[in-house]
Amino acid sequence: MSEAAVMPRGNAVAVVAAATDNNQTARPDGRNRRAAETRRKIIEAAKLMIAETSTAPTVVAVARRADVSVRSVFQHFGDVESLFVTVMDAIRQDIVVPPPTANTRPLSDRIASVVQNLAEVFDKIVPLRVAAGQFVGHPALIERGQAFKQELRNSTFETFAPEFASLSEPAREELADAIGAALSLDAWIVLRRRDNLSFERAAAVWRMTLEALLSHRFASVAAE
């Protein structure tokens, strides 16, 4: 039995990648190029299928779309969970995340910019997030999700630094929690998929929400 076979599902990608690297050192350049091209075709096929259907494709379907054998898919990725994690990373790399909005700009401009940037990024990864639903609890996906949330939280503190500076530490954390929950990927999915709002209307809802959260918090501070 192979080492990948006895590992937890979804972790085989590391073993397969290592084995691929070792094998490629002994392969002629032509075989290396063919292996790299096969891997690229598999990843691209899976990316397109997720974008089209918002579901995680099966290995058989990916192999058919990529015009490769099912065996080739397993040789490169080990299991369907590892394929999905690799595809998720590839999609994330394709997305250009704008830098935090300069905190020297007027508050209204910062609110509009933050919402627009975040909405554009989330709209691109909604199909991926919906497709990931069947892998809830996968350690790699949890790790990446937490890292992404922390990035957004850090960006919130940076963008609204002048406003946060007037708050106590507990108040800052509470406001950041509220913004993170209101402007989360799951919240965007509700607006776009469940409520079927247009991009423009969903973004308008988020602008109003962010304005309300900031106004409420600073009004509370002024009243103390």
pLDDT, one tens digit per residue, over 82-115 is 899 999 999 888 888 788 889 999 999 999 999 9
The dihedral built from the CA positions of residue 35, 36, 37 and 43, taken in this order, carries a sign that is positive
Segment 155-210, tens digit of pLDDT? 999 999 999 998 999 999 999 999 999 999 999 999 999 999 999 999 999 999 99
Tell me the domain boundaries of the chain.
3-92, 99-223
pLDDT tens sequence across 9-68 = 444 444 444 444 555 444 567 788 899 999 999 999 999 999 999 999 999 999 999 999
Average pLDDT, the chain: 85
Judge if pTM exceeds 0.85: no
